[in-house]
Structure 1
Amino acid sequence: MIYILVGAGGAAGSLLRYLLGNLLLGLNPAAFPYGTLAANLAGSFLLGLLTETWLKNKRIPPGLAAAVGTGMIGSFTTFSAFSVETIGLLSEDQFTLAFLYFFFSAGGGLAFAWAGLNVCNLKGDRQN
């Protein structure tokens, strides 16, 4: 049963990523891969948030956690597209864009995951 849940989550995540990419096509995708960057940053934040709020506190069943975390968010984000797009920018001598894309993807992904993991903790600090 868990395989079906992960597969359904994967289908949902890949469709969401495709829709997001199409929404951002107007931002000159030939010059910069906005869709992949947006998906990877949003996915990093969501996985951090869900890990902190759902998984650590065991607020959802393991099957649903796998469907959302591994299936949906795993297919929504994409390291392979990031890698190919970075190489594509380098092969077109777009070194500055390649560096910016790498920096914002890797650094931004870490920052967004950290923010997702700590958003609940930050709310609690404000109340004290």
Structure 2
Amino acid sequence: MLQLFAIAVGGAVGAILRFAMSNGVYKLFGRDFPYGTLAVNVLGSLLIGVLFILLIEKLAVAAEWRAGLLVGLLGAFTTFSTFSLETFTLMENGAFIKAGLNVFLSVVLCLAATWLGISLGRQL
């Protein structure tokens, strides 16, 4: 039951952070490309890499904290469903190059950020 509470609290915080960061990025770069979602997903991938190593390999943090941070906070912070909808909308509007670029950048940058996060976490 404590894990579910931790996930719920982490999820609420992650959703608010996603909204704030995404909107901030859109204010800087505009809405002609899903910059906000891309930025959130890359940062979330970096953070999940670092936190995974820290919480499991380095610090052996309790399961409730791991669930709250990894599943709740970062699960709500990253936005794959939003990524999917935005990519679909780009395709539906005929912006196939932007849609393809969004898929390519999201996959490559998020995998690279996760690798970087894991590498950084192992060095701590």
**TM-score, normalising length from structure 1?**
0.89
Structure 1 stretch displaced more, 33-42 or 50-59: 50-59
Shift of 1:58: 4.2
Residue number in structure 2 paired with 1:28: 30
Deviation at 1:21, TM superposition (A): 1.5
Q: Distance in 2 between matches of 1:15 and 1:120?
A: 25
Residue 56 of structure 2 is matched in structure 1 by: 55
Structure 1 position 120, deviation (Å):
4.0
For residues 55 and 38 of structure 1, the distance between their equivalents in structure 2, rounded to whole angstroms, comes to 25
- Higher mean alpha-carbon deviation, 9-18 vs 102-111, is at 102-111
Instruction: State percent identity of aligned pairs.
Output: 34
Letter in 1 for 2:88: I
Given the alignment of the two structures, is residue 40 of structure 1 paired with residue 53 of structure 2, yes or no? no
Match of 2:101 in 1: 100
Number of aligned residue pairs? 122
Residue pairs, 1:48-87, within 5 angstroms:
48-87=49-88
Q: Which structure is larger by alpha-carbon Rg, 1 or 2?
A: 1
Q: How far 1:52 sits from its partner (Å)?
A: 1.3
- CA contact 2:42–2:109 (8 Å) conserved in 1: yes
Query: CA offsets per residue over residues 5-37 of structure 1, 9 Å max, x none?
Result: 1100000000000001121222111x1111111
Structure 1: any 5+ residue segments left out of the alignment? Answer: none
DSSP-derived class of the 1:60 partner: coil
Compute the displacement of 1:60 (Å): 1.5
Name the Cα RMSD after superposition.
1.4
Deviation, 1:64, is 0.5
